[in-house]
């Protein structure tokens, strides 16, 4: 890996994009981690897109401005994560683009590892793991559930479509030329826009691989370590499955099959939730969340929408 030149490059190799919405403490944490990247990291700039019209993220920038690393701050006033991500793509000058979330922070060798894997495997996009740290120790049922334990894929292996997300990724800007559109703004309040974006990138012929060693950490606040929040996330995933089926032009009988299968599973899931509750809370919660997912599939088939970020 080559050493980064300390003077500001006219055109940085990589644009690191951070979209933020009313998380000044989280933004400070991720920016601090980006200023501590190892010298072997290629030249980069930082692009912050504030999706808050009140500019709540601006106060977090001052300590992290540096003569050697350009830091751009832009406001996307319309609350919509897809609009914020598209604005980041528009402002990015690098031929490579990285995304990291405003509730994450990176290991010092994070970007260097992503870049190394991208080059060695001639990939169009590289995804690293997101490991979780809780604000407070989670309850035992949540530990048993393993909801926040995302699978870690071996370096160089092809990324499964269901694991594609924007929290830790580096991709080539030129690969976007094959897309008809960028992040889908109709998903900007519902969620799932990142999975949709990279799924379309894969379908367009791009090579998407994993970089197991390129680690970032996501902070899990107390309000997310609760069954209600996780249930709503599963419900949204169920609706998203139907919406993805429509966007991918799957035949109607395929969606009808999803709907019928979900109906048939709902009752057994509910019974299992009740039966296991007194003896194994984690197993009971797992069945409850699967029922929420099946309910989301039914709702999506019937035309309901759920705006998680509204």
Widest CA span of the chain, in angstroms? 64
Give this prediction's pTM.
0.89
Q: pLDDT tens digits for 9-66?
A: 578 999 999 999 999 999 999 999 999 999 999 999 999 999 999 999 999 999 998 8
**What pLDDT, on the 0 to 100 scale, is given for residue 83?**
97
DSSP count for the chain of H helices, then E strands: 8, 10
pLDDT of res. 291: 96
Reading the block at residue 249, the tokens are 């032009």
pLDDT for 2 equals 38
What letters, b where the CB count within 10 A reaches 16 and e where it falls short, cover 25-48?
ebbbbbbebbeebeebbbbbbbbb
Give the bridge partners for 210, in sequence order. 127
134-166 pLDDT per residue, tens = 988 888 888 888 888 888 899 999 999 989 999
- In the structure encoding, which two tokens stand for residue 85, read together? 């991500």
Query: What's the Cα-to-Cα distance from 239 to each of 86, 298, 302, 304, rounded to whole Å?
Result: 23, 8, 10, 8
Tokens 């949709």 identify what position?
196
pLDDT for res 68: 82
Full pLDDT tens readout for the chain, 310 residues? 434 444 445 789 999 999 999 999 999 999 999 999 999 999 999 999 999 999 999 999 999 988 888 999 999 999 999 999 999 999 999 999 999 999 999 999 999 999 999 999 999 999 999 999 998 888 888 888 888 888 889 999 999 998 999 999 999 999 999 888 999 999 999 999 999 999 999 999 999 999 999 999 999 999 899 999 999 999 999 999 999 899 888 999 999 999 999 999 999 999 999 998 888 888 999 999 999 999 999 999 999 999 888 7
CATH topology for the 14-224 domain? Spore Coat Polysaccharide Biosynthesis Protein SpsA; Chain A (3.90.550)
Tokens of 293: 């997912």
Q: What is the pLDDT of residue 194?
A: 95
């Amino acid at each position: 890996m080559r050493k980064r030149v300390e003077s500001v490059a006219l055109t940085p190799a990589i644009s690191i994009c951070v979209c933020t919405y009313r998380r000044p403490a989280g933004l400070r944490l991720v920016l601090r981690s980006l200023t501590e990247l190892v010298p072997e990291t290629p030249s980069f700039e930082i692009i912050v897109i504030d999706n808050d019209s009140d500019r709540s993220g601006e106060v977090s920038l001052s300590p992290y401005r540096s003569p050697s690393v350009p830091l751009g701050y832009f406001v996307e006033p319309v609350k919509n994560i897809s609009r914020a991500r598209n604005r980041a793509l528009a402002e990015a000058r690098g031929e490579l683009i990285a995304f990291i979330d405003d509730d994450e922070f990176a290991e010092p060798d994070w970007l260097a590892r992503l870049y190394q894997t991208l080059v060695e495997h001639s990939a169009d996009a590289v995804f690293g793991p997101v490991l979780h740290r809780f604000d407070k120790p989670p309850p035992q049922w949540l530990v048993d559930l393993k909801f926040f334990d995302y699978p870690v894929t071996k370096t160089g292996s092809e990324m499964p479509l269901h694991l594609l997300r924007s929290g830790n990724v580096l991709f080539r800007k030129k690969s976007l030329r094959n897309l008809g559109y960028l992040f889908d703004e109709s998903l900007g309040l519902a969620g799932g826009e990142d999975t949709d974006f990279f799924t379309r990138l894969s379908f367009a012929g791009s090579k998407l691989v994993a970089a197991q060693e390129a680690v970032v950490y996501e902070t899990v606040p107390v309000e997310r370590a609760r069954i209600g929040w996780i249930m709503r996330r599963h419900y949204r995933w169920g609706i998203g499955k139907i919406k993805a089926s429509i966007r991918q032009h799957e035949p109607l009988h395929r969606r009808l099959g999803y709907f019928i299968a979900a109906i048939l599973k709902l009752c057994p899931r509910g019974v299992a939730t009740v039966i296991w509750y007194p003896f194994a809370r984690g197993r009971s919660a797992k069945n409850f969340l699967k029922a929420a997912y099946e309910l989301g599939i039914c709702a999506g088939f019937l035309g309901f929408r759920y705006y998680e970020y509204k």
